[in-house]
Amino acid sequence: MKRSACIAGLMLGLSTGGCGGGAGVASAGSAPPQTPAAADDWRRVATPADRDRLRRWRDAWLTALPRARAADPTAVAEQGALFQPDLALAGAAPAGRYRCRVFKLGAAGSAMRDFTAYPAFDCRIVDEGRVRSFYKETGSQRPVGLLFGDGDRTIFLGTLLLGDERAPLQYGQDRDRDMAGVLERVGERRWRLVLPYPRFESLLDVIELVPAD
């Protein structure tokens, strides 16, 4: 989906090669786009607040997971490896279409539950050359951003689209919309995007990704 990848690159202020206006995704078969050096290193892109959130990812697990287990032990146990904090297998998520389920662990505020599971939505990972983009295509809350290789893990930096919004804010413009997380493989054709300390509703969001095809 060219449009989703284009806005992911634009919202981080990175040229990714083929969209109108001189930024976007390279078409199939073209040479890898030339992106700024910053696109290779998430630390040069991430805000200080998001670097802090990523440093504290395990603290978020240790606080949120016991609350989720107390709220719905059966539902949490049914997800198996998805909710094992220290499990991370080798293997980056390939480009393609996915079915994504969002789980919110640990309530942030008295109006929320400590465990909430949503039905599957459509999302997509697009290869943009030296980085990839992630885009949740449906639902009332839709993360969109870039995926940065970082050794054995993948870092996500992005922003949150709400409701019927069609274009995201530029990353770093509104800290309440900024998102940061880690994308990990947890099984055969199963990945999770872990988002510690999101600004809304929960202490930890876990997005399960399984290929749609």
% of the chain beyond a pLDDT of 90: 52
2 in Cβ contact with 95 (< 8 Å): no
For residues 53-58, give the mean pLDDT.
Answer: 94
Whole-Å CA distances, 99 to 96, 147, 189: 10, 18, 11
- 57 CB burial (10 A radius; 0-12, 13-18, 19+): middle
pLDDT bucket at 194, cuts 50 / 70 / 90 = very high
pLDDT tens profile 135-179 = 888 777 788 999 998 888 899 999 988 877 777 778 888 888 899
Exposure of 67 by Cβ count < 10 A (0-12 exposed, 13-18 middle, 19+ buried)?
A: middle
Determine contact, residues 123/209, Cβ cutoff 8 Å: yes
Q: What is the pLDDT of residue 138?
A: 78
Q: Is the pLDDT of residue 22 over 70?
A: no
Q: What is the pLDDT of residues 62-75, one digit of tens each?
A: 999 999 999 999 99
